[in-house]
Amino acid sequence: MTSPVSYERKGSIAVVTADNPPVNALGQAVRQGLVDAVERAAGDDAVKAVVIRCAGRTFFAGADIREFGKPPLDPPLRRVHEVITECPKPVVAAIHGTALGGGFETALACHYRIAVPSAKVGTPEVNLGILPGAGGTQRLPRLVGVENALELVVFGRPVGAKQALAMGAIDEIAKGDLEADAIAYAERLVAEGAPLRKVSDLPIEKTPEVEAAIARYRERIARERRGFFAPQRCIDAVEAAVTLPFEEGMARERELFNECMANPQSRAQRYAFFAEREAGSVPGIGKQTPIREIRAVAVIGAGTMGGGIAMNFADIGLPVTIVEASDEALERGLGVVRRNYESAARKARITAAEVDARMALITGVTDYQAVADADLIIEAVYEDMALKKDIFGTLDAVAKEGAILATNTSTLDVDEIAAVTGRPGDVIGLHFFSPANVMRLLEIVRGAKTTEDVIATAMKMAKKIGKVGVLSGVCYGFIGNRMLDVYAREAELMLLEGATPARIDKALYDFGMAMGPFAMFDLAGVDVAWKTRESHRDRAPKDPSYYHIGDLLAEMGRHGQKVGRGYYKYEEGSRTPIPDPEVEALIRSEAQKLGIEQREVDDTEIVARCLYPMINEGARILEEGIALRPGDIDTVWINGYGFPVYRGGPMFYGGEVGLDKVLAAIETYRERYGERFWTPSPLLEKLAKAGKTFAQWKDV
Ligand code: 3HC
């Protein structure tokens, strides 16, 4: 087998090139190839310095994650780094694309680093539930200072070449061709007799400021990375660089790395990484599928959703036309968009010039004729089938041939909407999550007649605007809201059984959810959820307890945060939910009316009662072919509903608990509550009986 690493001498410089598509992950063959090539350069008298570079789209993007959890293969990455660092000739890393994790650590093991201006470097391991395990936590603080190292390692966000240069993570920015510039740089180092700059030998700061920074990061992590196992270990590892000599620090890093690796969170986070990537692939759709070009976008509706959706496209430089019924509504909507951009500018996320440039791309109109040139039209008005049908009738008349007609519905039948047009193949659901300019999830809803090129275009577009696109079939609520319905239904029932909104929210928050269901309803609008239920009363369970409190609160005008009262109360201008004795009294009296006896409901029951029906519903979603795979369901919940990524999503979590246990609990609840909500899905039963998880759902 030929090595993915090639060796070439150009004058007095050995150029070592790795070529392991797609992202030059540092798999075994690459590691061996690097050792061989650098040792060869060391022994080649004609060579005075070495350049390590990568072919293809990026410098090494990290260790090969697919090798994790398998028996280790020689040589380990640390050995590769030893060979590089100990090379008696200067070794220069030539970086393009993204030098991440083990890839960046390889660059840190080199004596010098040069990068193209568009390159990014970083240590994203924490996002996989681990920490840099090949010396990153020991070398980085020596090179860039402890505080910069903490920021990179603990939060895992890569930085661009300019910032990397400023903090000392790289030494040079290439001005032209990277390889030529790297060779010239290496020649200059030789000519100047530059020392072999071993990062491991650099001194490290040991000051009270450093101690204070470490303490500050510990506090920040407890707040900002609640529930995560790895971030605290990242801090421990960087601290070891300060308190221990290099070799001992390396040993401590290894221990902490192994601890993270053995923790279930890392398994869940690695699973989520691959699930998210797999969600982008749809059987039957591939490179051969034509893509429609999107040069101009139109959005129908300038409400919160419409404005947020428009921002996504203006952000990537596409012109967007927003259609509204009146000038006042337009003005209001565009005002909100501008304020969102200005707020981003205040936080230094974009510049003031970018605010104007993006606003200049957005045009408000009240005439549908203005959408005639759009390649993609997204309807984002409120959930009303008659209104949506009316709009799609108009769009059918004015949109140009080949335009994609999308609806941002969260629950309505995309096929029924498509049927009012003469081009149902061009109609698709694009379900954005609020706030649409922030949330990463995009449910792409395939109608019965949606053509493959429309789906392929939507998938590609999702990636372009920085979203995770997940394909769903048509059903009430699609993947996400269909499962939300059963999750919050149980939370509602438990209110009547005696648990307060605050108690239920806390149990689910402690489980790791971004917020509990009642805080979420208050944020999203108690009336919004109620209106959706109203439009689906015909299919809703005929049970008096079904969203009983939610319906009452909506009818009482307790619509949530926006009016200062919902499941909770809120002080003027505050978003902090305060338990409201009035609501608690209402719940008690309604329970009495319905003949439901109140009792103590503990946290374990709260979590099980909310999550197990979701897992069961997820199994049905798979059986019905609404979701393509369990990982898609998990990707939806992690990116759209604040499910903790360190638990892998509801379907993965079910496997961790044990599907037999989930099934047993469902059967117990069935005995207690009857069939109404607790019929196990056949798929769940089969998997549980076979001792399998959803990973093997096709095998039963
Ligand atoms: N190992 C194995 N496969 C990887 C990989 C890795 N480190 N990184 C990416 N891939 C695979 C993806 O699964 C995907 O495979 P597919 O085509 O079969 O679905 C393919 O490479 C392309 O990836 P993306 O679709 O993500 O491509 P993008 O261009 O959108 O993004 C990227 C490229 C920014 C490099 C992104 O893939 C990424 O963030 N990768 C992970 C980087 C990372 O976490 N590195 C640290 C690894 S752990 C480590 O190094 C431990 C060390 O400290 C010891």
Express as a percent the part of the chain with pLDDT over 70. 100
Q: Per CATH, which fold does 297-472 belong to?
A: Rossmann fold (3.40.50)
Segments in 362-400 forming alpha helices (H):
385-398
Lowest mean pLDDT among 120-129, 155-164, 521-530, 629-638: 521-530
Would you say how long the chain is, in residues? 700
Architecture, CATH, for domain 480-625+628-699: Orthogonal Bundle (1.10)
Express as a percent the part of the chain with pLDDT over 90. 95
More confident residue, 285 or 544: 285
pLDDT surpassing 80 at residue 442: yes
The percent helix, strand, coil of the chain (3-state, each to 5) is 55, 10, 35
**Ligand 1 centroid to 120 CA: how many Å?**
14
Identify the pLDDT of residue 619: 98
Residues of the chain with CATH 3.40.50.720: 297-472
- Span 556-572, mean pLDDT? 96
More confident residue, 451 or 304: 451
Backbone angles phi, psi at 157, to 5 degrees: -95, 125
Of 15, 13, 94, 83, nearest to 48 by C-alpha is 13
Mean pLDDT, the chain, whole residue set: 96
**Ligand 1 centroid to 639 CA: how many Å?**
18
3-state per-residue secondary structure call for 488-531:
HHHHHHHHHHCCCHHHHHHHHHHHCCCCCHHHHHHHHCHHHHHH
Residues marked as catalytic: 105, 125
| Segment holding 83, helix H or strand E | helix 77-86
Residue located nearest, by CA, to atom 52 of ligand 1? 102
Extended beta strands in 329-467, E state: 362-365, 376-379, 404-407, 427-432, 441-445
Is 119 near ligand 1, meaning CB less than 6 Å away? no
pLDDT surpassing 90 at residue 593: yes
Residue indicated by tokens 């379900």: 431
Residue located nearest, by CA, to atom 15 of ligand 1? 277
Tell me the torsion sign for CA atoms 603, 604, 606, 610.
positive
Helix axes 264-278, 246-262, angle to 10 degrees: 70
Is 133 near ligand 1, meaning CB less than 6 Å away? yes
Q: In which band, very low, low, confident or very high, does the pLDDT at 126 lie, cut at 50, 70 and 90? A: very high
Is 124 near ligand 1, meaning CB less than 6 Å away? yes
Identify the pLDDT of residue 534: 86
Instruction: Say how far apart CA 124 and CA 104 lie, in whole Å.
Output: 10
Query: HSE of 371 in the Cβ direction (CA atoms, 13 Å)?
Result: 29
Residues of the chain with CATH 3.90.226.10: 5-262
Instruction: Say how far apart CA 492 and CA 513 lie, in whole Å.
Output: 17
CATH number of 5-262: 3.90.226.10
Give residue 168's Cα distance to chain centre: 29
**Ligand 1 centroid to 264 CA: how many Å?**
20
Spatial strand order of the sheet with 49-54 comes to 5-10, 13-18, 49-54, 91-95, 112-115, 172-173
Residues 6+ apart with CB under 8 A from 390: none
Residues of the chain with CATH 1.10.1040.50: 480-625+628-699
CB atoms inside a 10 Å sphere around CB 2: 8
Instruction: Say how far apart CA 37 and CA 235 lie, in whole Å.
Output: 35
- Span 223-233, mean pLDDT? 96
Q: What angle do CA 232, 237, 243 make, to 5 degrees?
A: 120
Q: Which atom of ligand 1 lies closest to the CA of 23?
A: 21
Residue located nearest, by CA, to atom 32 of ligand 1? 61
